Each structure stands twice: as C-alpha cells, then as structure tokens.
Structure 1
Amino acid sequence: MRAIGGTTDGRRQGARLATVLAAVVTLSTGPVLGGQVARAADCPDPVRAVLDTTPATAERTVALTFDDGPWPENTPAVLDVLRSHGVRATFFVRGDQAARHPDLVRRIAAEGHAIGNHTWSHPDLSRLSAAGRATEIDRTTRAIVDATGTGPCFFRGPYGIHHSAAIAGPAWERGMTVVDWSIDTRDWSTPSGWSPSFQQQIVARATSPGSAHPIVLMHDGGGYRQNTVAALDDIIAFYASRGYTFTDPLGRGSSGGGGSGGAYVVRPGDTLASIAAGHDTSWRDIYAANRATIGPDPGLIRVGQRLAIPGAGGDPGGGAGGGASTAYVVRPGDTLASIAAGHDVSWREIYAANRATIGPDPGLIRVGQRLTIPGG
C-alpha cells in the first residue's frame, strides 16, 4: 500500500512535475465532481490510499491486472487462459474501448473477473482540468454500467498518474479504490510480432514479486499483446506452485481448478453443432451425453458449462502425453489458448503435440486444421 505522494517508475517520470503542479492547483479549489453514476452494490468502502500491494488477506496473495482493453484481438485469449486455470483477474478498461466492445466487458464480468476504471481515452490526467478528469472517469463508469449493469470498484490512472489527491480524490468520492502495482512486466514495450525471448522477459519480470502480496501489471489492450498471452501460463503456474492465492487488488480471493480430461467448457458463441464440428462427433451425441447438464432444450447451452464429448476421434498424428488424446478441427476465431481453455490443457501442450502441423508460430493456426488434443 502506498500513501499519496509515493515514488514513480520509468513510465511516470515524464509527467512528474505536471502532476505536482496540477495537484497544487486543484487542491486549492477542490475537486469538481460530475453527475452521479452507478456504484457496484458489493464494492467495499474505498481504501483511501493508493494500493501497490494487496492487503494480507492470506499468507501469500497475488493480483493479476490487465490495462487498456477490452481489445478483440487480445482480451478473449487472455480470458481463455485465465479460465483454463480457474484464475480470476482484474481488468482496468478504457471507456472508449468498453463502449465499442460491450460484449467483451460483459464476458469479463460473467467469468467472475473484477473490472476497474482506466479513464475514457487514456490521457495524462495531470494535464486536464478537474472537470476534464471527472468527465474521463464518469464516462468510463457509465460505459461499464451500460455493459454490465454495475459500476467498478477500482480505478487506475493512465501511466500510473493517480497518486495526487487531485486525481485519487475524485475516484475515492465515486466509491473506487485506487490501484497501482508492485510489478511492471513492461509488456507494453512489446515488439509488434511473436517473440519467445520477449515472452521470457515478461515471465521473468512478473515472477519476481519482492513481497508476499504483489499486484502485477500487464496489458490486454493498446496493440499487439499475444506475447503477454503466451507468457500468462507460466506466470500463473509460478504463483500457483508457490501457494499464492489469486485475488483482486483488495485481497478478495477466488481461484478454481481444472477438471478431468475429455471435457469441453462452453465458450461464448458456441452451439452444440459448432462444438460437434470441432470434435468429429454429432450434436445429438453430445446432447445425449449431457442432457442432465443442458436441460430439455439442446439449443440452450450456457457459457462455462462443462460438457462430456463422446466418441471423439483418436490420435491421428502421434500426440504427446500419457492420457487418451482427441482430435479437434480449428474453427474461425480459434486460438491455441481458446482451444486449450475448452479442453483443460495448456496451449503449449497442444502446440507441442502439433508443431509439425502448425509450424514455427503458435499464434498462426488455420481454419480446418486437425489438431491433436493431448489427454489430461
């Protein structure tokens, strides 16, 4: 936890003087608050300090946070990886992106993740008037409310510029705890393409906590973030193997677990027919095997339902792993991460079993490719 006036890192140094000057001006006049906006019913009273670690609600806690989304090219893949591990995170969304992609905001909330306010257009708040800051915050909260029906519990200023009372104060007045970070993975400096070496750098930074209660900064928006997606499995594995509880920035924990092999977890947009097409079986066979789960209408399946896939094909290409493998046919919109999320394996295991089919870049798979899904 960092009090108002704490130090800044490299991303913030350029705005340090402007932040101080803006704070002096605004403190002399008081914050100008915009119209009332919705506040989440389950938000606790805001912590009136800037959090850079989580409260010690367990012996070891970690809060994974993602900024600048939602971003259609990245956010679904991040969500798929998190779901495959049963881990929940916090997404600090931009208001303009939330307004463009409310379906992704709804998915974030539906899958149990926390949502934070990251302003409407990602400005340097220290360079705006008090009224301008209020507008940036309130428009974003309204976009979140429009998408999910509830307001955010958390706020993070762009570039980490949120330590002055002129910026943190309005967030607190709106019921939001202000969240900084203790680990900057610097994934925002990503190259514009697939880079295993950069992925290793992200993992190395993310897994150097320095405390028992880190808050980790990553990004799902702002550009190409597939290197972040690729690093996420190893980051989660590091903390899980060391007994950390995955929490939101206030230390409220929620972690799940995997399941048995041979199951498929329903994703947004799925139908029994589309699931069957990916598994060389019929929708009727899937429905017959899961009638108790699905109910009387096979046209109504719910995101997150775990379905047994009967009669899936064997291993056509000699996959890895010791359990029974199945075949999967790549569909439009698939990524290795999303396929892995539906089968309780990691994307790396799928890639290892299909390297000859996929080629050197695991980020490039083609519709119609038949992939071996290694057994759990």
Structure 2
Amino acid sequence: MSRPRLYRTLRGVLAALVPVALFGALAGSAQAVPAAPAAGWPDPVPVVSHVETTDPVVFITIDDGWFHDPAAAKLLLDRRVPASLFVLPGAYSYDSGYFHTLLDHGRSRVENHTINHPDLTTLDAAGQRAELCGARDQHLAEFGDGPRLMRPPYGVYNEATRTAARACGAEGLVTWTHDLTTWGSVAPPTPTLKAGDIILLHFTETLEQDLKRTLDLAEQAGLKPAPLREYVAD
C-alpha cells in the first residue's frame, strides 16, 4: 500500500474511533455524579434537649398519661402551668375528659409520643411513620389540635426518626435536660435549674409532688415555666 493511501486509511479509522471514545468518557462522567435526593423527602427535624435562650424560663413536659391524678391536674390548672403533654392515645381512650380539662381550661398542649411506645430504632422508616403519623391523627381527631413536637420513647431515635417526625407534622424532636420523676423508692435529683432546661415528668402516682418539687426548683432559680412550642416549633 502506498504511503498516501496508508495515511488516508489511518485518518478514517481515527475519525471513527474518536466519537466512540468521547461518548464513553461522557457516559463515565455521568455515572460518577451522585444521585440527587428524592423530591419531596422532608428535612429531619432538629433535636432539642435544652433550649438556648436568655429568657428566665424552664419547660415542663409530662409523658405517657396512664395515671390520671386529679390533684396533679388541679395543680396544673391552679398554677397555670404551660406543660407539654407527650401522651399515648391509649392513655386517653378510657378517660379523655381528664386531658380535655387540662387543654380547655389550662395552658397544656398535647404532643406526639407514638401510639404504642416502641423503641423507634427497632422499626424501619415505614414503621416509624405509622407510629408517629398514627398518633398525630388520633390526637387531632380527639382534641382538634395536632401535635407540633414529638418525643421518642426512652429518648431513643435515629435519622429515620427525625425524618418521620417531620413527615408527620412535628417541628422538633424533644428529649430532656433533667428527669425529675420519682421512680420507686429512689429520690429524684434536685439540680440547680438553668434557663432553657427541659424537665421530664410522668403521669404517675407521684406526679403532684414531682410537679411541686419542679416548680419550687424553678422558683429558686428565678425561672418560670413557659410553653415549649413557642421556643422549639418553627
């Protein structure tokens, strides 16, 4: 083959190969781009165990709701305590009037604590949504006021919990600064409270005395109970 003819043949082969190589390079680059998050996937809610504030306030939260102590309810109403009630639907299914009184005549608000009180980290995303959205729907149907905060049972959560909370209408995942519940014969701590502390109590037989002790500690620290929704919810 003559040299000019050989050159023409090589140019033809290269002309055919270059587009193929470029296409392969572009395809490889496209595959390296990470996939974007699914559209509409909610951002996880913030986690709050203490509110950063200079206001002289403390936040009282009460969990579960099984024991309905009239004396504790009277104290909440008489002292106009703006408590956040993280109650379970089953706890008001047999006596909703107890909580209606606290909501209708006091400053308390019902928040989300799931339906069945599971360790949410043992459930997949769908299971967590079922617990949180189900509790939201039952609260809304019973009280006409949907929860805006959620507390995971046992204070245990993962990223799926934070996302499920947002999907089910919550604006914050709340844990606590101090648990001042009386558990059996063990005396609860008596910490020096600071502005922004979140206090955990429970609807137990000792709720009235736990509330009195908490209110006394707040007064000693120059703090007043405030509505948690106003400081955490968007």
* TM exceeding 0.5: yes
Residue by residue over 1:257-285, the C-alpha shift from the partner in whole angstroms, topping out at 9 and shown as x without a partner, is xxxxxxxxxxxxxxxxxxxxxxxxxxxxx
Against the structure 1 CA distance between its residues 99 and 143, is the aligned structure 2 distance closer, same or farther, given a 3 Å change threshold? farther
Aligned CA-pair RMSD: 2.7
One-letter code of the match for 1:208? T
After superposition, residues 271-290 of structure 1 pair within 5 angstroms as none
Q: What is the aligned counterpart of 1:123 among 118, 121, 135?
A: 118
1:233 counterpart residue number: 212
**Structure possessing the higher radius of gyration over alpha carbons:** 2
Against the structure 1 CA distance between its residues 80 and 206, is the aligned structure 2 distance closer, same or farther, given a 3 Å change threshold? farther
Q: What is the aligned counterpart of 1:218 among 198, 201, 211?
A: 201
Q: Distance in 2 between matches of 1:130 and 1:165?
A: 9
Cα deviation for residue 70 of structure 1 reads: 4.8
2:102 counterpart residue number: 108
Q: Distance in 1 between matches of 2:108 and 2:80?
A: 11
Number of residues of Structure 1 aligned to a counterpart in Structure 2: 191
After superposition, residues 342-357 of structure 1 pair within 5 angstroms as none
Matched residue of 1:226: which SS? Answer: coil
Matched residue of 1:133: which SS? Answer: helix
2:221 counterpart residue number: 242
1:333 counterpart residue number: none
1:325 counterpart residue number: none
Q: What is the aligned counterpart of 1:78 among 50, 72, 76?
A: 72
One-letter code of the match for 1:213? G
2:20 counterpart residue number: none
Q: What is the aligned counterpart of 1:48 among 45, 48, 52?
A: 45
Relative to the length of structure 2, the TM-score reads 0.72
Q: What is the aligned counterpart of 1:63 among 42, 59, 74?
A: 59
Against the structure 1 CA distance between its residues 145 and 250, is the aligned structure 2 distance closer, same or farther, given a 3 Å change threshold? closer
Q: Distance in 2 between matches of 1:71 and 1:172?
A: 29
Q: Distance in 2 between matches of 1:186 and 1:109?
A: 22
Larger relative contact order, structure 1 or 2 (CA cutoff 8 Å, min sep 6): 2
- Contact 1:190–1:227, Cα closer than 8 Å, also in 2: no
Over the matched positions of the two proteins, sequence identity in percent amounts to 24
Between structures 1 and 2, the one with greater helix share: 2
Relative to the length of structure 1, the TM-score reads 0.46
Q: What is the aligned counterpart of 1:137 among 120, 132, 136?
A: 132
Q: Distance in 2 between matches of 1:241 and 1:207?
A: 11
Cα deviation for residue 152 of structure 1 reads: 0.5
